[in-house]
Amino acid sequence: MRHRTLGRATAAALGAALLLSACGGSDDDGGEIVGAETEGSPSASAPAEEDPDAPAFDFPGDLRADVEPAGTGDGKKQAVLRDQGYALSAMVESYGQQKATANFERYWQDPAYTNYVKDFERFADDGQRIAGTGRYFNREVKQVKGDSALVMFCEDQSEGYVVDAETGKRVGTGGGENAEVLRLYRQTLTRTADGVWAVAESDWTEGDGTCR
């Protein structure tokens, strides 16, 4: 079953049956991440990957993102993967903070941008946020044409879950065995006027055999 516009769906993988009954019916969203510190207190801002010019991401102490590095040998494709990783890190950071962060503002654009912002707001209204670990791997640039690029990758959120934003206590029984299905993502990125590759569209296929 293919779904599009996944802000809520990514969180659904984390929260499983607990609070998200449906993902939107439009065509865009997506996910991937980096970072995380020790449990208990908020994490310090952490740079993505090992780029000295990488943006800093500020995750709660119980939120960890694992983005598998990917090399292409092609300068343009590598730039796409770099910014796509930052975009997904910004998404998770925003779920952790229950709002669109400055990083999210930079690495996302409509229609995916608006879909996710609505989802951040729903989490804030519910007094909840994501926690645990998300893993993103097999990232690959399938196509680059002018200022548009297509990236595919896999997501594993089996170690993710939802917590009360104030207490940090786990809500329900989401994650673990309830979120074992891997997802194959397709994301369209567009290069902005300042040269950033921003995620504009995202869709996924659940249980795709490509992701193992």
- pLDDT tens per residue across span 167-188: 999 987 655 444 556 889 999 9
Within 8 A by CB and 6+ apart from 60, the residues are: 42, 43, 96, 97, 129, 131, 168
**Torsion angle of the four alpha carbons 117, 121, 122, 127, in this order, in degrees rounded to the nearest 10:** 140
The CATH label, of 2.30.30.30, 3.10.450.50, 3.40.50.720, 3.40.50.300, for the domain at 2-206 is: 3.10.450.50
Reported as half-sphere exposure (CB side, CA atoms, 13 A), residue 176 has a value of: 7
Q: How many residues does the chain have?
A: 212
pLDDT at 77: 95
pLDDT at 211: 87
Look at 90 and 72; give whichever has higher pLDDT: 90
- pLDDT tens per residue across span 96-151: 999 999 999 999 999 999 999 999 999 999 999 999 888 899 999 999 999 999 99
Q: What is the mean pLDDT of residues 22-43?
A: 35
Domain-by-domain residue ranges, the chain? 2-206
Residue 19 banded pLDDT, cuts 50, 70, 90: very low
Asked whether the predicted pLDDT for residue 27 surpasses 70, the reply is no
Asked whether the predicted pLDDT for residue 164 surpasses 90, the reply is yes
DSSP the chain: -EEE--HHHHHHHHHGGGT-----SSS-------B---SSSPPPPEESTT-TTPPEE---TTEEEEE-----S-HHHHHHHHHHHHHHHHHHHHHHHTS--HHHHHHB-TTHHHHHHHHHHHHHHHTEEEEEEEEEEEEEEEEEETTEEEEEEEEEEEEEEEEETTT--B-TT-SGGGG---EEEEEEEEE-TTS-EEEEEEEEEET-TT--
Q: What is the mean pLDDT of residues 184-211?
A: 91
Q: What is the mean pLDDT of residues 3-24?
A: 37
pLDDT at 71: 84
Question: Minimum mean pLDDT among 51-60, 101-110, 135-144, 189-198: which range?
Answer: 51-60
- State the residue for tokens 């669109």: 100
pLDDT at 102: 96
Asked whether the predicted pLDDT for residue 24 surpasses 70, the reply is no
pLDDT at 208: 65
pLDDT at 173: 63
Among candidate residues 108, 1, 2, 21, the one with its CA nearest the CA of residue 11: 21
pLDDT at 119: 92
Residue 88 to residue 169: CA distance in whole angstroms: 25
State what percent of residues in the chain have pLDDT above 90: 49
